Amino acid sequence: MDEAYVAPIGKSDVGLLRRNLQMAAHTRRLLLSCFEPKGKFVDYGGGYGVFVRLMRDEGFDFHRYDPLCNNLFAEGFDATAGTSYALLTAWEVLEHLKNPLAEIERMLSFSRNWLFSTLLLANPPKPLNDWWYYSLEGGQHISFYTVESLRIIARRFDLKLHYSNGAIHFIGDPNLNPIGIKAAFDRRFRWLQRIISKPAPPSLVHSDYYVVTGRHLQ
């Protein structure tokens, strides 16, 4: 593992920027459908801070947690231990975990609502040379999941697996509005967003500039 993590982000992760754009769109829909958009949110395993910067540009008060990677794009907006966040995102994190349950428990200390991505194992699992997601050239992908294992994890922490499409998953409070979740994830119910979505907050670009420089944008 020490050899695999000489660089915190593997060179084969050529889809990092595209993924962050896609996940920002999913997260925005969920926040506007099911949460208070002006709440506080955290991106766990946030890497260089790209996702946090994208979401703050959109007006959502996201903070970054990643003790293993330099914060290049969201400096000044790291998560604070002991702070409660309305939603935690974790993009391409679970497959890296040496001790998944212990790390998931740590994630849930930040928030009980958890939107994340990881590709699920086929049944039966594909041979090592037949699935690119094993990422054999990098050695960083070491834990893999099935939809049933996600349900077990949710039950272990008294939560519910609200959504899973094999790549994107949402575990959270069992009492969340199911209509809002459908509106966020199911294209057939996307029209509901126009009815139930809360207004998007204004961009945080100007206020963030003041936070990091002490000056107002002219």
Strand partners, 91: 117
Within 13 Å, how many C-alpha atoms sit on residue 122's CB side? 10
pLDDT for residue 86 is more than 90:
yes
pLDDT for residue 2 is more than 80:
no
Cα distances from 131 to residues 26, 120, 122, 135, in angstroms, run 25, 11, 10, 8
Q: Is the pTM of this model over 0.85?
A: yes
Question: What integer pLDDT is reported at residue 5 of this predicted model?
Answer: 74
Question: What integer pLDDT is reported at residue 100 of this predicted model?
Answer: 96
For CA atoms 110, 12, 17, 21, the dihedral sign is negative
pLDDT for residue 187 is more than 80:
yes
Q: Where are the alpha helices (DSSP H) in 118-214?
A: 147-156, 178-185, 193-196, 205-213
Pick from 102, 100, 134: which is nearest to 119 by CA?
134
Question: What integer pLDDT is reported at residue 117 of this predicted model?
Answer: 98
Among 170-174, 180-184, 192-196, the minimum mean pLDDT is found in: 192-196
Question: What integer pLDDT is reported at residue 195 of this predicted model?
Answer: 86
Average pLDDT score over the chain: 93
Identify residue 22 by its one-letter amino acid code: Q
Average pLDDT, stretch 147-152? Answer: 98
Q: Which domains does the chain have, with CATH numbers?
A: 16-213 (3.40.50.150)
